[in-house]
Amino acid sequence: MDVKAVIDTRRKGEPQMGLFIVASILIGIGIAMTYSASALFAERTFGDSLYFLKRQLVWSFAGFMVMMFVQQIDYRNYQQYTKIMLAFTLVTLVLVLIPGLGISVKGSSRWLGYGSLRFQPSELVKLFIVIYFAKVFSYEHQRDINVLQMLLPLLMVGVFFLLIMLQPDFGTAIDVAIISVVLLFVSGFPLPYMLGLAVLSVPMFYLLIYQVEYRRERILAFLDPWSDRFGKGYHIIQSFIAFKLGGLLGAGLGSGTQKIKRLPEPHTDFIFAVIAEETGLVGTFSVVILYLLFFYFGVKIALRAPDEYGRLLALGLTLLVTVQAFLNISVVIGVLPTTGIPLPFISYGGSSLVVTMVGTGILLNISKYREVVAQELKYSGEVWV
């Protein structure tokens, strides 16, 4: 009898409670800040100050239920469905670009659905790309593929990147690119190929960014917002003012003024500025620490995962949250140009929240498993247990 076929090299235990607690606190902060940032706008627009809060509560509850369900599913099961995942996201990304099918908001066609029931396919891309890369670049799969086959994932990322850019959604496209590059690096992808990709990407980014007028204006506003303080630089300056008004302890929850017709998207992309004004430096540092703790627990799960697929998957899912979080924070504090990336767990929005919680659920499942050391293997009859 083949001993390898009957050895289970994993030992199941309890999930990482630290990660669960951090995620739960961030969700709670998101619910509170969504109401604070949106109440006045919701009252004026919809005649209901609880309009956005009620929807965020529904999405939070749905996401929590999905997270609890997903954390019960063995993470290795996702490997056999990667082709279906990628095909689904490819189709939906094409559908959002078709007039009459894709829902357009403020010039961007990013959603599918009907009425208030809609989802953003690009959010699924980030999750499925991580699952796909973890499968392809884990050692057990690399042994069976050649270099040309290893380049296929890069082609897939390129296709998804261009489709997302066509929506247009530059922030999500950059997020996908960053996570993909980091996963390539940690999986041991040949360095010469990575350097070649970096060189090839320079003219592409020049054409996609600097040659597109509104993106070029965002970069110029980022470099010197005060050169046009009532035009291109207005919004980021209002974010700076929110931080100044917040000071050390903040004006108090619900007492901020920058969210009233000054900050752009105060309950979504710039919700961190509302946190800064209402809870001060203490509040913003607390949020940053929570994301750092999420990163710490995620990396800890990755290092303890029982196989290479689990390690890459855990690392990718951790980056999925933390990279996006620090991109959003960097934009709000003026370190990066405006990109339109939501703050994970906290910004208003169902697609981003649910997908983030699904990824967290998978992380929790990975955390349940440990590698069985040699001393733990016992021979019983014909099998090792």
For residue 48, give both structure tokens. Answer: 């209901």
Give the pairing type, strands 117-119 and 103-105: unpaired
DSSP per position, 217-278? HHHHHHH-GGGGTTTTTHHHHHHHHHHHHHTTT-S-TT--STTTTTSSSTTTTTHHHHHHHH
Question: Where is 371: in which H helix or E strand?
Answer: strand 369-371
What is the DSSP secondary structure assignment for residue 341, as one 8-state letter? P
Percent of residues, the chain, with pLDDT higher than 90: 40
**Burial bucket for residue 75 (CB in 10 Å: 0-12, 13-18, 19+):** buried
Question: What is the C-alpha to C-alpha distance for residues 301 and 319, in angstroms, rounded to an integer?
Answer: 13
Per-residue pLDDT reduced to its tens digit, 246-290? 999 999 988 888 888 788 778 888 999 999 999 999 999 999 999
189, 60, 173: which is closest to 123 by C-alpha? 173
Structure tokens at 72: 């019960």
pLDDT in tens, 212-227: 676 777 777 777 788 7
Distance from C-alpha of 277 to C-alpha of 266, rounded to nearest angstrom: 11
Measure the CA–CA gap between 50 and 99, rounded to whole angstroms. Answer: 32
Q: Rounded to 5 degrees, what angle do the CA atoms 138, 73, 375 make?
A: 65
**φ, ψ for residue 338 (rounded to 5)?**
-60, 130
Is the pLDDT score of 9 beyond 70? no
Residue 2, pLDDT > 60, answer: no
The predicted pLDDT at position 295 comes to: 97
Q: What is the pLDDT of residues 339-350, one digit of tens each?
A: 778 999 999 988
pLDDT at 167: 82
CA distance 64 to 361: 9
SS3 111: strand
**pLDDT surpassing 90 at residue 366:** yes
Exposure string for 154-176, b = 16+ CB within 10 A, e = fewer: bebbeebbebbbebbbbbbbbbb
Confidence grade of residue 192 (pLDDT, cut at 50, 70, 90): confident
- Position 25 scores a pLDDT of 97
Task: Give backbone dihedrals phi and psi of 50, rounded to 5 degrees, phi first.
Answer: -95, 10
CA distance linking residue 233 with residue 64, whole number of Å: 38
pLDDT, mean over the chain: 83
Q: Match 């099918």 to its residue by tokens.
A: 101
